[in-house]
Structure 1
Amino acid sequence: MKISNMEFTKTVGFASGAAPVGVSRRDVLAALLAGGALAVTWSAPAAAAALKKAGAPATLRPALSTDEMAVLSAAAQVVVPTTDTPGAKEAGVPQFIGALFTGWMTDDEAALFRKGLSGLDDSARQLYQRGFAACTAEQGAELLQALRVASPYGGHTFSLTDRILDPKAPFYLRLRDLVVLGYFTSEVGSNQELRYIPVPGKFESNVDIKTWPYQVVI
């Protein structure tokens, strides 16, 4: 069942405490998506500062362990690999998601996210006799693809915000969307990957969107 926008605009709890009055998790996410605090490369302190600026409360939950961060880093790099532009690791995406884990996710979301990282690592050990962080990029991609196929999503929304806030979103979708969020709120993702289209621009009343060279909705 899809959670309505109205339900999420209400003030909800952050981590182990309550959000400031009038600030919801949706508000924080919207502030981050607005690009109010871009980082050249996300670091844990920079990400925590951005969350605080966006309206999130002080961090209350213990951070992910070194091993969990290694799995997260490897998975993030599979989602956004290094090509002619920096990948997720270079943009500091794992540190950004780590900050969301400690200071933005609810307890249930954090537990599911941690369980998802553990499951990904277990799958790698069963299939390749090594942890996910030690897998090749090709092996990592195979594992994430298998996880994607095994993770049907009934929300059917084009909104990145709605998917991230949906408590029924599977781990794979949550991981992928948070990587996308972290990458495109970094300076490298914002400046080197996104394109700016001036509005208003040239008006065309009849455009075949199937011929567009890029996807407008993530």
Structure 2
Amino acid sequence: MRSSMFFRRSPDADADSGGAGVSRRDVLAALLAGAAVTATWTTSSAIAAIEAAGGPAAKRPGLSADEMALLSAAAQVIVPATDTPGAQEAGVPHFVGALVAGWMNDDEAALFRKGLADLDASARARYQRGYAACTPEQGAELLQALRAASPYGGRTFSLTDRILDPKAPFYLRLRDLVVLGYFTSEAGSNQELRYLPVPGKFESNVDIKTWPYQVVI
């Protein structure tokens, strides 16, 4: 079981349908429902899942190789490998990359890319190397500093609402998308959570100490 230190959208935001008559919240809800949880994420499977859930096809270039390397390093810091797979092993970077290409609107994608670039610049200023070349400890220190410098005025415990909030800072957007991608992957849902595909009988005396702490997203 892991324990990670890294662990509202405006009223008109749900009207963003990407021209397909389906809101981005609906797409996210469909992904959260688990319809696409069949295997470790790949770029093609993540894009297919977004399309199947009602999202538009990829409409802009995906992240570059350098951006993907940076995203992969950051994702692994947020969800490291322990006794269960980490973000990289679960294919989370491919999932987030697909969201940037085919789910975010243009402004969000631009801000996300800028956030990655700023994170890389902070690594070069502090450690004279790009973020992807930093040690996990250095990467964690940089994310902790980014977290401290990312105040958030939203008041919600909903992961979905935070992801859909256009005012959420880059740190929260990065962290929440990594968490979403991890716990909708086969590795995250089957090995980290207690996955019950079919509800069983009611049991009043269950030792929940043996369950992973986070059982829902």
Q: Residues 32-89 of structure 1, C-alpha deviation per residue, up to 9 Å, x if partnerless? A: 0011011421110010110111001111111111111111000000000011111100
Structure 1 residues 91-126: Cα deviation after superposition (integer angstroms, max 9, x where no partner): 110000000000000111101100000000000000
CA distance in 1 between counterparts of 2:96 and 2:12 reads 24
Distance 1:62 1:156 in 2: 33
**CA separation of 1:111 and 1:13: change in aligned 2, threshold 3 A:** farther
In 1, the alpha carbon distance for the partners of 2:57 and 2:38 equals 20
CA contact (8 A) 1:42 1:186 kept: yes
Match in the other structure for 1:89? 88
2: CA distance, partners of 1:51 / 1:164: 15
Task: State whether residues 163 and 169 of structure 1, in contact with CA within 8 Å, keep that contact through their aligned partners in structure 2.
Answer: yes
Contact 2:150 2:171 (8 Å CA) reproduced: yes
Aligned AA for 1:183? Y
Give the TM-score normalised by the residue count of structure 2: 0.87
Which residue of structure 2 aligns with residue 3 of structure 1? 9
Calculate the aligned-residue CA RMSD, in Å: 2.1
**Map of 1:202 onto structure 2:** 204
Residues 109-159 of structure 1, C-alpha deviations (whole Å, 9 max, x = no match)? 101100000000000000000000000000000000000000011002100
Contact 2:123 2:130 in 1 (8 A): yes
Q: Which runs of 4+ in 1 moved over 2 A?
A: 6-10, 196-203, 212-218
Does 1:121 find its partner at 2:120? Answer: yes
Measured after TM superposition, the shift of residue 8 of structure 1 is 3.8
Give 1:50's aligned residue.
49
1:183-202 alignment, distance < 5 Å: 183-196=182-195, 200-202=202-204
Residues 39 and 46, structure 1, Cα contact 8 Å, conserved in 2: no
**In structure 1, what is the Cα distance between the partners aligned to 2:30 and 2:9?**
20
1:79 aligned to 2:78? Answer: yes
Q: Deviations over 1:135-190 (max 9, x none)?
A: 00000000000000000110021000000000000000000000001001110100
What is the distance in 1 between the residues matched to 2:120 and 2:216? 30
Counterpart secondary structure, 2:12 = helix
Structure 1 residues not aligned, in runs of 5+: 204-211
CA contact (8 A) 1:158 1:217 kept: no
Residues 213/186 of structure 1: CA separation in 2 closer, same or farther (3 Å cut): closer
CA distance in 2, matches of 1:71, 1:53: 28
Q: TM-score under structure 1 normalisation?
A: 0.87
